[in-house]
Amino acid sequence: MQTIINFPLKSLNSFGFDVKAKEFIAVESSANLRSAIDYAQAHSLPWFVIGGGSNLVIHNDLPGLTIHVQIMGKKLVSKTATHAFVDVGAGENWHAFVQWSLDNQLPGLENLALIPGTCGAAPIQNIGAYGCEIGQWIDSVEVLDTYESDEDRMWQTLTRSDCQFQYRHSVFKKDPGRYIVTQVRLAIPLVWRPNLQYAELAKHVANISPLLPKDVFAAVCHIRQAKLPDPKVLGNAGSFFHNPIVDESTYLSLKNQFPDLVAYPSDTLNGTPQFKLAAGWLIDACGFKGFRQGNVGVYHQQALVLVNYGHGNGKELLDLARTIQEKIHAVYGVDLTQEPINLP
């Protein structure tokens, strides 16, 4: 197996940080992936798996072996009376897959349009936007379990339940490094119903009749492009912080102190109502929107997005993130947790 030495990763992390991989290999099949892991283990190398690099903060050159998953392919596998089952390779671009699903009369994913990254990363992060999360469509995920040495047990199919999906969380994040996603199977309902929970999206399509999936797709793209910078122009990883979830008493206390607080009901915990606070509102209310610290800053149109102005690095970005986290905790008493994964 041949690897590339000191491979530049600037184009493979959406912040555009100028970092390198000590050894790098692109894998295009499950067999190639297994060979790469075997190589790393045989040489006692740490290894890292990357896809589109849209949910990473790479703040130093990566030691060991960096594996770029490029397993492609997408196809309609079967249909039942209620669902279409579609397989997609982990290396496929997520947004292009959403477009493909619409082109093939398989609507339902349009609320997740323009989310950067690959299809293999989608279940790891349980990507979500505009009232939807990918976990609700996933039927199963094909993975390589790196904790297993037995060939028959190394390749596994995890069901939706196995994936333990929660808000921006899954079993893949609970046990990082164990599973490498190779393929995702989605169960897409055959009866399409638009999801217009998000007020701005509902407003955008209010005068369209009849409303079609392509209209929702176009509206989502328009809203995202108006609020979020293109990583190819201004380095970023989309939303940098999770929306903090608090119990009802905390929410009511904060609402009393800050009447304009933006929050939404969330899933109950042990029968107790929970509320999701809008992290972007918290950051904006503390005066960080448009704030710049050296070569990095907070995007001027969306306070939830941290950006690299071109010459920044991971250390600068994480320093800025800590500054924001400390301020939010001091003012509101809640903790902001980081969404992108730090490497190494």
Is there a catalytic annotation at residue 178? no
229-234 long-range contacts (CB < 8 A, ≥24 apart) are: 229/299, 229/301, 229/305, 229/307, 231/14, 231/15, 231/16, 231/54, 231/116, 234/299, 234/307, 234/308, 234/309
Which of these is catalytic: 110, 142, 239, 316?
239
Residue 121 CA to residue 83 CA, distance in Å, equals 23
- Helix, strand and coil in the chain, % to nearest 5: 30, 30, 40
- DSSP for residue 182: E
Residue 150 CA to residue 103 CA, distance in Å, equals 41
| Residues 6 or more apart whose Cβ sits within 8 Å of residue 19 | 8, 9, 10, 13, 58, 59, 60, 61, 62, 314
Residue 289 CA to residue 118 CA, distance in Å, equals 28
Cα dist. 186→17, 79, 101, 183 in Å?
33, 11, 11, 10
Overall size of the chain counted in residues: 344
- DSSP for residue 244: P
Cα dist. 154→30, 34, 38, 148, 341 in Å?
11, 9, 12, 5, 25
Is there a catalytic annotation at residue 239? yes
Which of these is catalytic: 34, 168, 185, 224?
168
Residue 155 identity: W
- Other CB atoms closer than 10 Å to residue 2's CB: what's the count? 6
Q: Which two tokens stand for residue 297?
A: 């800053």
Is there a catalytic annotation at residue 248? no
Question: What count of Cα atoms within 13 Å lies in the side-chain half-sphere of residue 44?
Answer: 0
Residues with active-site annotation: 168, 239, 339
